[in-house]
Structure 1
Amino acid sequence: MAAPTPTLSNRPVGTSSASSQRYTSALSAVTTLFFLWGFITCLNDILIPYLKAIFQLSFAQANLINLCFFGAYFLVSIPAGKLVARVGYKRGMLIGFVVAAAGAYLFYPAASQRAYGLFLGALFVLASGITILQVAANPYVAILGPPASASARLTLTQAFNSLGTFLAPLLGSALILSRLPKLDNAASAASIDITAVQIPYLVIGTVLLLISLMLSRINLPQIEHATEADTAEGASSTRAWNYRHLVLGVVGIFAYVGAEVAIGSHIVNYLALPDVMGLDPKTAGDRVALYWGAAMVGRFAGAYLLNKFAPTKLLAFNAIGAVVLVLISINTSGAVAMWSLLAVGLMNSLMYPTIFTLAVAGLGRHTEEASGLLCTAIVGGALVPLLFGFIADNSGLRLAMLLPIVCYLYVMWYGLRGSRRAATV
C-alpha cells in the first residue's frame, strides 16, 4: 500500500499583505544568488581549455576541473542540508557566500605558484560554498509561494542563473582565452600568462562578500513546513529517500547535469575541430555563451509555459529535443554541426528546475533533506564529463557525444513515468 505523502503548508509566518510583499522581496533577493552562481559555474567552461593548454593535459586530465568542482556537491550537499535545517535558509546562504568567496580568493596563490593541484583545491572550496547556497536557495524558492506554480517560480529564478552562464563565457573569453594561442600550438604553452585568472576571481570573491553583506540586512520571510498533525498518518516514520519520485529524481538531476556540463565543457574543443568549424579559442569561447544563452531564453519562456502545460510533458519534450539535436550535430559538419549542438542549451533550459520541483513535491518537513540529496546528484557534472573525456581521448569528441544522449533518454523517462508519486521504496 502506498504511504501517504506529506504536504507543505507553504505559508509565511503571518498571512498579512505585508508578508506577501516580503515574499516578492525575498524572491528578488534570492534571484541574485542564482545569477552569481551561474556565472561562477560557467567559468569552468573557460578554465578547462585554458588550463588544458597551459599544463598540456589530456581531455580526461582537464576534466578533473569538473570532478573537483561538481564533486563538492557529492561530498558537501548532505551535510549542507543538515546545516540548513539547523540554522535556517538565510544563515545557510550567508555561510555559503563566505565559503565560496574564500575559494575564489585561493585562485590568486594558485596562479602565482603555477600549480594545477592548487587550482583544483581552490575550485573545490569555491564549489563547496556554491553547494551550500544551492541547498538553501532551491527549496526556499520552491516553497516560497503556491505549490502549483513551484516549477514556474524556480524556472524564472533559474533564468537569471542562465543570464550568468551567458555572460561568463563572453567575459572569460575576453579576459582569459584571448591570452591563448591556437589550441594545437603546444610549443607556446610555457609562455602563456597564467595570471590572467587572478583578477577575475579576486573580483568574484569580493562580489560574493558584498552580496552576503546585503543579504544579511534583508528580512526574509520564515517558511513553515507542514506539522506532523498536518501530514497523513504514518508519514512521520519515513525519510526523504523513502519516496520513489525523489530517488528517481536524484538520478534525473545526475543525468541532466552530467549531460549539460559534458557538452558545455567541450564546446571550445569541439568547435576547434577542422571538420566542425576550426575556430580559435577566443571565437569558440564566445560561442559557448550562445549555448548558455539559449538556456536563458528557454527558462524565461518556460516560466510562462509551465503555467500552461504539464511540467512532466514539457520535461519529456525537451529531453527528446536534446537527443535529436545532438544526433544531428555528430552526423553533420560545419555550421549545422555547430548550431545544432549550441541549440541543445535551449532544450536544457527547463530540466533542472522541473526535475527538482517534481522530486520535492509533497515532501513537507523532508524538504531540506531532499534538497541535500538532489544537490548531491549534481556530482553528475563531475563523473559524466570525466567519462566523456576518456571516450574523447580514445574515440574522439563526436563519439563521446553519445554519452549525453543516454542521459537525456533517462530524463525523458523521468518526465513520463519516474516522476509519478507512488509507493515509498
Structure 2
Amino acid sequence: MSGSDPELLPTFIKKLCAAYPDVENRRFVLGVSGGVDSMVLLDLFRRTQEVHPLRLVVAHVDHGTRQGSSAVDRQLVASVCLDYTLSFYACCLKPGQLTGNFQSSARNCRYRFFHQVGRDCFGDEPFVVVTAMSLDDQVEKVFMDILQGRSLLSSLGHPLPGAWRPLADLSKAQLYHYARQQAVQWREDSTNSQPDYLRNRVRLLLQQQLEPDFGFTTSQQRTLVHDLEAGFGWLNRQMNATYIRLVQSGELDGVALRAEDAFVQSQVAHRFLVENRLEPDGRKVEQFCYLLNSKGGTRYLDGGRGVEVVFAYDRIYCRPQRVEGNDAPDPLCIDGCGDYHFGDKSLRLHRSKKTERKWFPLGANLVIFPLTIRNRLAGDTLRLPCGSVKLKKFLIDRKVPRTERHRLVVVENAHGEIIFLEGFGPVSPVAGAADDGEYWIEITPH
C-alpha cells in the first residue's frame, strides 16, 4: 500500500474484497485500542461501509494500567463509534487480573474478549476478528523473538486463528500521515516510550540505532518481513504436512516423532501444546522434547491448568490431571445467574441474597462469564494477597483431610482464575465486600 491518501482507501477495499469475496455477507469484529493504528483501521472500515454494507462491531479492552488515562482511550473509541453509529463493546480489567507475563496475558485476554463479542453479536454465524498490527509491529516482534530465543516459525508461521491484519504492510509513518490528512482522532499511549517492557526497548533500539545508523528504512523492513514470511510460509507448509502425518485422533505418534531431528521435534511440540490450549513457552517445549527422548516407562509433563501431557512409548496425548481416586462429575459451564446442580451439590448464583445462610459475596469484577464449576485438579493455583500458592498447599495448611480435598468444588472465571472455593468463599486478593453491584453465591449438598 502507498502512504498517499488517494490510494490508501481503494487499496484497502481491494485487499478486503480479495481476502473476503463475499464481504457484504461477512461479519467483522474490530479490535480498537484508541492508538493511531487501530483508529486508522476503524476509519478505513467506516469509509468502506459507504461502498459495501459491512456488518461491523467494535471491541475495546481497557487494561486499567494507566491510572485514568486508559479510561480516556475507551471514551474516545466509544465517542467515535457513537458518531459512526457503530456498536461498541468494552471490557474493563482490574489491577491484578492479569497474571504471568503482562503483555502475553493482555494479548490473550484481548483475543478472548474479541471472540466473545463476536459470538455474542453474531451467534453461530462466522465472523472475522480484525486487528491493526503494522509493519513496525511485525519487525519489533521478529527482534523480540530473536532476543527471547523463541521460534520465529511460531510467530510468523502460525498466525493467530481467526484474526486478520490488513495493515501489516503499512509502516507507522504511513499510518500517522493518513491519520493527519483525514483528521482521524487517536491517543498516544504514554507507556510506549518507557523501557519497562521488552517491546518498548526493542522499539527504541530500532528507532534510535538501527534506523539512523544503518539506514534500516521502511522498504528494508518490508523486505525483511516479506522474505521471512515467504520462507516461513514454505517451512510452515512442510511442518503442517509433518504434523498431520504424526497426529491421529489428537494423539502424537511418539515413535515417529523420535525419528525426526531436534528442530522438527520442537516445532511439533510447540504446535501440539497450542492445539491443546496450553501455553507453549520455551521451557515447556524443552521439557516436552526431553521427555520425548527419555528412556523408561510412562512419563508426564505438567501442562498447566489441570492438564498433563502423557508420554507413553508409542503415543503422546493430553488428559485432565485428576487427583488420584477422583470420580468428579464433568465440569459445568454457566453463562448467567440461576440455580444449578453439580454432582451431589447445589449451586446458586444471584445478584441478591435469597437467604441469610451460607451465602458469600463475589465482586462483579471477578464474575467474568462463562464460569466453570468443577472439582479441584492437581496443579490448581490460587492468587492470594501474599502471592500465588498451590491449592493443595493451601488445603494442607488449613488441615483439610486428604479424603475431602479432591471433592471440593471450585468456581473458575473465563480468565482461568479460581474465584471461589467451597467452604472458604472468595479466594482472590480483589474479592472485597459485597455491594449492590456484586453477586452472591451458595454451594450446598442436595
- The structure in which a higher percent of residues are helix is 1
- Category of TM-score, reference length = shorter chain: under 0.3
Give the alignment's TM-score, normalised by structure 2.
Answer: 0.22
The answer to which structure, 1 or 2, has the higher relative contact order (CA under 8 A, 6+ apart) is 1
Structure 1 or 2, whichever has the larger Rg, is 2
Of Structure 1 and Structure 2, which has the larger fraction of its residues in strand? 2
TM-score, normalising length: structure 1: 0.23
